[in-house]
Chain A
Amino acid sequence: MILAQTTEPFIRWNWVWSHLDMIWSRTVQHLALTGIALGVGFLISIVLSMIALRYRRAYAPITWVTGVLYSIPSLALFVMLIPLTGLSVATAEIGLVSYTLLIFIRNIVAGIDGVPSEVREAALGMGYTRRRMLLEIELPIALPVVIAGIRIATVTTVGLVTITALIGLGGLGQLILDGLNRLFTTPLIIGAVLSVVLALLLDGVLVLAERALTPWARRKATIG
């Protein structure tokens, strides 16, 4: 039934080789969009988490707002931001950052809360100030949980960046979209596969980082 397209192979390798530059620059763009979202999101989340840890009653409203943000379909959020921030990186980033907040905040707070109270008391007994305790005791102990959150946020963001292609950005999403527009499976598959590979790579890097940073932590076979 479909005549011309059935002869299209899934991947035209010569296209891949001749477009390596473009594929690379799309990957870099994808990484940049992801990195900015994670970086800015993490900073904002640290601030909000510190507030939530200090003023317990703030935790519920903070998670409520970030939760609502999280459940907005990303394309809808980007589109609604366009009149405000235009067709720019800022529009995409505001959306992407919003989706990281809930994950980060939940995990930072859970991580710090997970520090056993005996440890805190012992530290206080030994004369640690609040600040030293936070930086030298609580954060290191919370690290595995925090990194778990970073992993989830990272993988999620890499996936969401593909959607920004629909407003003209998108890194690897552009390859996917181009493949859809022309029914050209090569960039489509390359874009899709690279997005997954990128997400898994970053996830792997974070796992290694966790092992490097927490040599004392017992390795439990936790899932996710």
Chain B
Amino acid sequence: MRTKRRTGVFGAILAALAIVATSCGSGGGANTIKVGSTNFTEQEILGEIYAQALEANGFTVERKFKLGARDIVEPALESGEIDLYAEYAGTVLEYLNNGAGEASGDAAATIDKLRQRFADRGVTVLDYAPAVDANALVVTQETAAKYGLTKISDLASIAGDLVFGGPPECPKRPFCLIGFQDTYGLNFKEFKPLDTGGPITVAALENGEIDVGLLFSSDGAIAARNFVVLQDDKYLQPADNIVPVVRTAVNSQKLDDVVNSVSAKITTSVLSQMNKSVNIDKEDASTVAHDWLVANGFISG
């Protein structure tokens, strides 16, 4: 009776440790790539696209999606918890250089600077996609009509009466609240932290809890809800092309070829369409990614 209990207990400890060890150790051999993503739907779609493309080319992929905001995921890349994820060129450049102002509307120049910045951190920047997803300042049709708004500068005189809603990290972001304040002189009456360009922000706009919302330019909800995107007339938003970044240590020519060939085909309209399929039509990100990859000949049926 006693010995049975002792081995039972011992066995349980071993089993528990084994499970924990296998889950948190880095799995697989040199051909295993951990693809990560931040915490909104578009990122999950992009993650699936790259993951499936890699799998079709002989890589073993471990998916670690929706880990958190960039502040969680980018350090995870540097520390090796993930190996690859999709970034947005201008925004991540300013994230890395602490807002030094190196990003611009010129995608190629921005990417060059980004390569330098990431090189010090053991990260390789691959080719950027044509698709752009930048911060978009959005209002409802009614609001636009009421104040006669077409561009962001139009908000300057009335911002003090308006409530602005966006992701919780917005007040700390140079292309978000900080940029709106510095470049456009917008001092909103109140900032409401909501979600990362998701349905909560959309719903808040629709029921008037906020007057101006931050969405992402590739968000399907913008068209679906007839929102008005205020034109970025002072060009605050940099070239936020989708660009995959990968840990140099696990990178290989083969990986580059696979990923780059896929990126070349991702355009803004493709991205918007996929966002709409997942967010509004409620399809799975993995299915949408799969279908697109098949349609473009990257993987076979």
Contacts and interface: CB of A to CB of B under 8 A. Distances in A.
B2 A32 contact: no
A183 B203 contact: yes
B270 to A, nearest CB: 19
Contacts of B79: 86
B20 A167 contact: no
Interface size class of A (residues with CB under 8 A): 20 to 34
Nearest to B284: A19
Contacts of B224: 4
A87 interface: yes
Contacts of A130: none
Contacts of B59: none
A90 B22 CA distance: 11
B198 interface: yes
A87 B15 CA distance: 21
A3 B200 CA distance: 14
Contact of A4 (B40, B65, B280): B280
A36 B278 contact: no
B279 A168 contact: no
A82 B20 CA distance: 16
B282 interface: yes
Interface in A1-60: 1-5, 12, 15, 19, 32, 36, 39-40, 43
B203 A36 contact: no
Most-contacted residue by chain B among A3, A15, A90, A168 (CB, 10 A): A168
Contacts of A174: 66
A87 B207 contact: no
B198 A87 contact: no
B81 A181 contact: no
A79 B245 CA distance: 24
Contacts of B2: 135
B279 A182 contact: yes
Interface string A73-92: 00000000010011111100
A157 B249 CA distance: 38
B68 A168 contact: yes
A70 interface: no
B30 interface: no
A86 B68 CA distance: 12
B12 A182 contact: no
A161 interface: no
Interface in A117-140: 135
B119 to A, nearest CB: 24
B64 interface: yes
Contacts of B5: 135
A167 B16 contact: no
Nearest to B202: A183
B230 interface: no
Contact of B203 (A2, A165, A168, A186): A2
B22 to A, nearest CB: 9
A82 to B, nearest CB: 7
Contact of B12 (A4, A5, A43): A43
Q: Indicate the member of B2, B16, B76, B224 with the most A CB atoms within 10 Å.
A: B16
Contacts of B198: 180-183
17 contacts: A3-B225, A36-B20, A40-B16, A43-B12, A88-B81, A89-B19, A89-B24, A135-B2, A165-B66, A180-B198, A180-B200, A181-B39, A181-B195, A182-B41, A182-B198, A182-B278, A183-B203
Interface of A: 1-5, 12, 15, 19, 32, 36, 39-40, 43, 82, 85-90, 93, 135, 165-168, 174, 177, 180-184, 186
Can you list the 5 inter-chain pairs with the closest CB atoms, starting with the nearest?
A: A183-B199, A88-B24, A168-B67, A89-B23, A90-B24
Interface of B: 1-2, 5, 9, 12-13, 15-16, 19-20, 23-24, 39-41, 64-68, 72, 76, 79, 81, 195, 198-200, 202-203, 206-207, 224-225, 278-280, 282, 284
